[in-house]
Structure 1
């Protein structure tokens, strides 16, 4: 045989392993990928965790029924953290040290994610696509998949400057990163017009009621109430504003815009004319009744998570989240190391996931994991949310 041909053949053979070689980190093998999550299946945020948790489990069951990801089945472990910071740390330790997962995915809420962030980063375990929007979630091993609250505040500011440029703004916010990041973004978005904020009131997560704060803001002559509250406080404020006969332009955070878990308990009549930000299609909105993605979403829940309410906002967010987890894992190919998973998850460019609203996409890049930069404004008509205007960028 010609020496040149032999040399060429040998070179080709030697080159193959460089491209075909498999690499595995903890929790990954030829046959499976171990993932884990702690979520509030009980406790004060169980309204968010139970349905969303079932949707995540169902999604991985569906993927496994179709052959898994790149031929590997997902071995998924879900533990209850009761929305308690110490419990969340305990469950993360169990997932890492006992179960041996590749990554913790989709953990819900600011408080649990803050609690586990230091531990997971120290262990160099991906804290992947979490459902929390604080600016602090930009560590080397922590990636959010939710509009960060500072971005949301900036978008709301843009909306107010157009919809009510002479507003007398009162702000109600939770006294932690969840509320403070939003307020920071709101002030930054208002810029020189930040003087429109004439009053602000905070509350602690453990406070039994926020009635006094609502009364205080009304007494300050506020005609535009902007709030970043968690579930119980948001429902209370909507109800209290209604009972007082107060009719401000009332903007609530996107994370508390669930018709099922927030607005119905507060009262649908009391919720009329609320304004919020959105980035996902609302399954209960008649405008999307014949949308193929909405149909697929409902069919998935019917088959794999029948106890989950398709109109529950937390379920919808979880559905988007696991699509992103699947996307990042598929991009990893046969290099299933924690380092490569982070590389793929932080190199998304204009990706549109199922159920995202028109004009909304996610992009991440090394050093800045902020996934969403554009949101939509929606108004509640007493039955469902309706989009208002064009997409608004926080930039």
Structure 2
């Protein structure tokens, strides 16, 4: 009571008589927000079969350290609470319940993996806690009618799959397509989009084989695919297995036209381990500036990113595009929280996330911006194709969406 009384006495009579609203009366908070702190929750694979993505969580952590060093967001420091879920859905459920019910975070930010996010999808919406800018491109994250508390970030896998299909049909004569697919929602969403893009030519898929994330290698699957005589290889795999597939194809002398998902496009985490010689000509879809692409050597946006990396992540591999991803998605979250002002409620966080028009995030490719609305939860809907040459990616063609492919 004493604190409240002092607060009242400190307010001038004139302010009270004039009906002026006090600043502290205008502030609105949910769990995870105070006058001095914003608490964000995150789960990622710092261990396990997708541990190559662990650098994303580290990059995000470094970003918030930079923000806090600069004074925070509207005077509040960001408390980024992150746990290892090992890319295991049951573990994701465990750590996310801890984040929501014990740590009491304001929202989840960039939880990684399609199967992992699927495991908490209904829970987060039942709890009405934002599951924001998830690190997966499954199309299900853009369904505000049924899941108003979940929003994606990157281009959706379905669209990306359609674009590859259209490019293959336009550029590969007598295409016979072999597909390696991770056996979960991530793989299925990609392949569904790919088949949709093929349309009446879906029969050109001559073989589809799957693997489990618990498998040690995909060597036997690649041998099966080569034996079909396919001249196109769609590599729908996370980094560890994508690299294995590229290397094995080369080892057994299989030289199809190769298409690989954007989530495995890291030069440092995938192409280098696979062997640069083995990766020549692979095509993927990009929406971020690749730090190994010489065209961005003097780019102002990546110059700022490199300065950030040098200061806050000394010794980290600046050739790993996952760090660019971490920076861009954190920049968007930063802007979302800034727009919330002193109304740091979960409802307002989602409201601001769903209100971006042509917003430029440093690190996105030219011509690609953030666009959302209450009925559109796909922030990025465009990509540009690129091919691997030498030791880096080279962009070609125009920025496009599934409709313009």
TM-score by length of 1: 0.92
Matches within 5 A, 1:367-386: 367-386=375-394
Match of 2:139 in 1: 135
Aligned length: 385
Match of 2:353 in 1: 345
Contact 2:50–2:238, Cα closer than 8 Å, also in 1: no
Match of 1:256 in 2: 264
Match of 1:116 in 2: 120
Mapped pair 1:47 → 2:52: yes
Matches within 5 A, 1:1-395: 21-49=26-54, 51-137=55-141, 138=143, 139-164=147-172, 166-395=174-403
Q: Deviations over 1:324-370 (max 9, x none)?
A: 11111111112110001011112222222110011222222224312
- Measured after TM superposition, the shift of residue 75 of structure 1 is 1.7
Q: Deviations over 1:115-174 (max 9, x none)?
A: 222222221111111111112223221111122110110121222233225322222211
- In structure 2, the CA distance between the partners of 1:222 and 1:70, relative to structure 1 (3 Å rule), is same
Runs of 5+ in structure 1 lacking a partner? 1-8
Contact 2:38–2:77, Cα closer than 8 Å, also in 1: yes
In structure 2, distance between residues paired with 1:334 and 1:185:
41
- Measured after TM superposition, the shift of residue 14 of structure 1 is 5.3
- Matched residue of 1:392: which SS? coil
Match of 1:3 in 2: none
TM-score by length of 2: 0.90
* Runs of 4+ more than 4 Å apart: 12-18
- Measured after TM superposition, the shift of residue 273 of structure 1 is 1.1
- Matched residue of 1:57: which SS? helix
Contact 1:155–1:375, Cα closer than 8 Å, also in 2: no
- Matched residue of 1:273: which SS? coil
- Measured after TM superposition, the shift of residue 15 of structure 1 is 8.2
- Measured after TM superposition, the shift of residue 13 of structure 1 is 5.6
Runs of 5+ in structure 2 lacking a partner? 1-13
- Matched residue of 2:319: which SS? coil
In structure 2, distance between residues paired with 1:376 and 1:14:
55
In structure 2, distance between residues paired with 1:201 and 1:45:
20
Match of 1:6 in 2: none
Contact 1:273–1:382, Cα closer than 8 Å, also in 2: no
Contact 1:301–1:310, Cα closer than 8 Å, also in 2: yes
- In structure 2, the CA distance between the partners of 1:179 and 1:266, relative to structure 1 (3 Å rule), is same
Contact 2:50–2:87, Cα closer than 8 Å, also in 1: yes
Two-structure CA RMSD over aligned residues (Å): 2.2
- In structure 2, the CA distance between the partners of 1:306 and 1:273, relative to structure 1 (3 Å rule), is same
Contact 1:172–1:227, Cα closer than 8 Å, also in 2: yes
- Measured after TM superposition, the shift of residue 310 of structure 1 is 1.9
In structure 2, distance between residues paired with 1:299 and 1:106:
23
- Measured after TM superposition, the shift of residue 306 of structure 1 is 1.7
- Matched residue of 1:104: which SS? strand
- Matched residue of 1:391: which SS? coil
In structure 1, distance between residues paired with 2:197 and 2:295:
30
Q: Deviations over 1:61-115 (max 9, x none)?
A: 1111111112211122122222222222221122122222101111121222122
In structure 1, distance between residues paired with 2:315 and 2:107:
26
